[in-house]
Amino acid sequence: MSTPSKDEAPSAWPVPARIVWRIIYGVYAWTLFVVLALSALCTAVLPGVQRRRHAARKASRVLLKLAGLRLTVKSAEKVPPGQCVIVANHASYLDGVVFTAVLPPRFGFVIKREMDRVPLAGLLLRRLGSLFVERSNRQRGANDARRVLRTAISGSSLVFFPEGTFSPAPGLLKFHVGAFTTAARVGCPVIPAVIRGTREVLPQGAFFPRRAHIEVEFLSPLIATAAAGASAAVELRDRARSAILARLQEPDLAVA
C-alpha cells in the first residue's frame, strides 16, 4: 500500500490511513480545546462582561483557526447595529463557540439550564452573561423566561437556539416560542441564522472531532406583524423557522 501524500485530502486516503489521521486530528483538536478552555477561564476574572466577551471572542477565533476549521460568514450586514434577537438551528455543541467567534460582544446567549451545572463551563458561561432557562420545571422555566425578558427590555441583544437541543441526524426540530415572545414583547427584529458544518465537525455521540468547512448565514430581519401577545410570537416563530428550513435544506423533523 502506497504512503499517502501530505497534499492529498484525508478523504482520498486508504481507509486505515484515514482512521489514523482521524485519531491524530481528534486528539490534537481535544488537546487544543482543553488548553484554550482553561485559558478562557482566566477571562472570568476580567472586570466587566463586555471585556470578558471580547476575550472569549478572540479565544473562539483562535480555537477555530488552530483546529484548521475554515469559517465563512454570509450576509453579516443583515445583523443590525441596534438591538435584535438572533435565532439559529442547533447542530452541535460547537455552535456556541462559532457564534461567539462571529458575533460582536454585545450579544448574550440563552442556554438550557443543564449547562449551568457543568463544572467550569457553567462558571465561564455565567461570567459571560449567559442566561439559563429551565426546560423540565414549568414554574422555574417561567421565572427564567421573565428574567430573559427583563434582560432584553434593558436593551441587550440575545442569541437563541430555539430547538433547545439537537439530533444526531440532519434536520430541523420544532421551535420553542420563548425567543419570539421576547422579541415581540420588546419590539426588536428577529434575525434568523443558518449554521452548517458543525454537525460534521462534532457529531452527537462522536468522540473525535473531524475537519469540515463551517458556514454561518444570516437571513433577512423579521418584525412581528400580528397584534401584541401570543399570536405575535407564534407568527414570528413560524416565519423564522420557515426561513431557516428553506436555507438549511435539511429534513423537517417536526413533521410527524
Give yes or no for residue 172 having a pLDDT over 70.
yes
What pLDDT, on the 0 to 100 scale, is given for residue 2?
A: 45
> Domain with 85 in it: what CATH number?
3.40.1130.10
**256 part of a folded domain:** no
**3 part of a folded domain:** no
**131 part of a folded domain:** yes
**185 part of a folded domain:** yes
Give yes or no for residue 155 having a pLDDT over 60.
yes
Model pLDDT for residues 174-190, shown as the tens digit of each residue: 999 999 999 999 999 99
**230 part of a folded domain:** yes
Minimum mean pLDDT among 20-29, 102-111, 198-207, 220-229: which range? 220-229
Give yes or no for residue 57 having a pLDDT over 70.
yes
Please state, rounded to an integer, the average pLDDT across all residues of the chain: 88
**26 part of a folded domain:** yes
Q: What is the per-residue DSSP string for the chain? A: -PPPPTTS-GGGS-HHHHHHHHHHHHHHHHHHHHHHHHHHHGGGGSSSHHHHHHHHHHHHHHHHHHTT--EEEE-GGGS-SS--EEEE----TTHHHHHHHHS-TTEEEEEEGGGGGSTTHHHHHHHTT-EEE-SS-HHHHHHHHHHHHHHHHTT-EEEE-TT-S--SSSSBPPPPSHHHHHHHHHTPPEEEEEEESHHHHS-TT-SS-----EEEEE---B---SPTTHHHHHHHHHHHHHHHHHHH---BTT--
What pLDDT, on the 0 to 100 scale, is given for residue 217?
A: 98
Q: Span 113-126, mean pLDDT? A: 81
**112 part of a folded domain:** yes
Model pLDDT for residues 62-86, shown as the tens digit of each residue: 999 999 999 999 999 999 999 999 9
Task: Give me the domain span that covers residue 140.
Answer: 10-248
Give yes or no for residue 3 having a pLDDT over 80.
no
Give yes or no for residue 4 having a pLDDT over 90.
no
> What is the total count of domains within the chain?
1
Name the residue with higher pLDDT: 180 or 9. 180
**177 part of a folded domain:** yes
Minimum mean pLDDT among 10-14, 114-118, 165-169: which range? 10-14
